[in-house]
Chain A
Amino acid sequence: MPGKALVITSGKGGVGKTTTTANLGLGLALRGHKVALVDADTGLRNLDVVMGLENRIVYDLVDVIEGNCRLAQALIRDKRTRNLVLLPTAQSKEKDAVKPEQMKELVKQLKDEFDYILIDSPAGIEHGFRNAVAGADEAIIVTTPEVAAVRDADRIIGLLEASGLYDPSLIINRVRPDMVRRGDMMDIDDIIEILAIPLLGVVPDDEGIIISTNRGEPVVLNGRCRSGEAFNNIVRRLEGEEVPFLDMRGDGLLEKLKRLVGLR
């Protein structure tokens, strides 16, 4: 059975697409699936750094498409699990070095060998976006609880439909429970009501995610961290399991105490 290709996209930049791609990819691989991550942001390569694999790149996506190497030669094996590979993109080429048709063919080849192909889309709605969605079977939209990010997510829903990708699911990233509790941040229900697409996950903003990204180790490896827990939950939902969403109204005093003494 061929694998499933998911594009991770957002419209707006800086909402956490690459971090999400890295975490879901590693999470799925650690649970036994064969996963390929594809960086579709040609010219602004990032996924390699977030994965901590930047020193291992020899060939890239554009080399594969231009025939400078075979696909298998460009795939970088992850250092934590043999189930995961990264196809980095070119840093010194333009976005239009790749055509949607070529991308489609490449993803098709990967689907023969891997269970999941996660495509990290660039920000924007131009050439790079069209390349990223070209080979995808399903789409995951990442947003943050801000007016501009949700607006762009709404626009992306329409553009995905125009590309034949219906029913995308939503990840709301960088939620700050303390601000939601104070009424200073749109909560999950507000955003879902407005965008009207199914919720795949909610990821709290915490320091753990910044610290792990500094080290090139996706936070999904850190089970004690709330954002790591959130990404793990999303991975299980992708597998079809029903997992309750983390409570984003924030921890009460009791929860904080429990955490302090290591009860959870």
Chain B
Amino acid sequence: MWEFLSRLFGRENEASKVAAKERLRLVLVHDRTTVSPCLLETLKEELLDVISKYMEIDQAGFEVNIEQGDDSMALVANIPIKEMKRALSRTKN
């Protein structure tokens, strides 16, 4: 009955355009952040350079990925540390 009434007053109709727009927005968030493996590899190398200044990393276990949630994207890095560096002098100049 409620469904009939809401259809009568156009609420369900209203939803179809809104749903289309919302779904489109979501799918484009994912599409537009699609990163090529090549770019990801470059990012990984540069991250490695920066982090290596501060600590020693287990390079074999170093992973960088883009993870997709339902409505969000995240850059997730797993960086196993072997040892912290005591002297940070190299970074200062």
Contact = CB atoms under 8 A, between A and B. Distances in A.
Given A154-B28, A154-B31, A190 B21 contact: yes
B13 A182 contact: yes
A215 B18 CA distance: 38
Contacts of A186: 17, 20-21, 24
Contacts of B31: 151, 154-155
Interface string A179-197: 0001111110010001000
Nearest to B32: A154
Measured as residues with beta carbon below 8 angstroms from the partner, the interface class of chain A is: 10 to 19
A207 to B, nearest CB: 23
Nearest to B24: A147
Contact of B10 (A147, A183, A194): A183
Given A154-B32, A194-B28, A184 B21 contact: no
A113 B16 CA distance: 49
A184 B28 contact: no
Nearest to A185: B17
A88 B7 CA distance: 50
A146 interface: yes
B40 interface: no
Interface of A (DSSP majority class): helix
Contacts of B20: 145-147, 185-186
A150 interface: yes
B14 interface: yes
Interface string A146-158: 1100110011001
Contact of A183 (B17, B25, B28, B32): B17
B13 A183 contact: yes
Interface in B20-47: 20-21, 23-25, 27-28, 31-32
Contact of A184 (B16, B23, B25, B27): B16
Interface of A: 145-147, 150-151, 154-155, 158, 182-187, 190, 194
Interface of B: 10, 13-14, 16-18, 20-21, 23-25, 27-28, 31-32
24 contacts: A145-B20, A146-B20, A147-B23, A147-B24, A147-B27, A151-B27, A151-B28, A154-B28, A154-B31, A155-B31, A183-B13, A183-B14, A183-B16, A184-B13, A185-B17, A185-B20, A186-B17, A186-B20, A186-B24, A187-B17, A190-B17, A194-B21, A194-B25, A194-B28
Given A190-B21, A194-B25, 9 more contacts: A146-B20, A147-B20, A158-B32, A183-B10, A183-B13, A183-B16, A185-B20, A186-B17, A187-B17
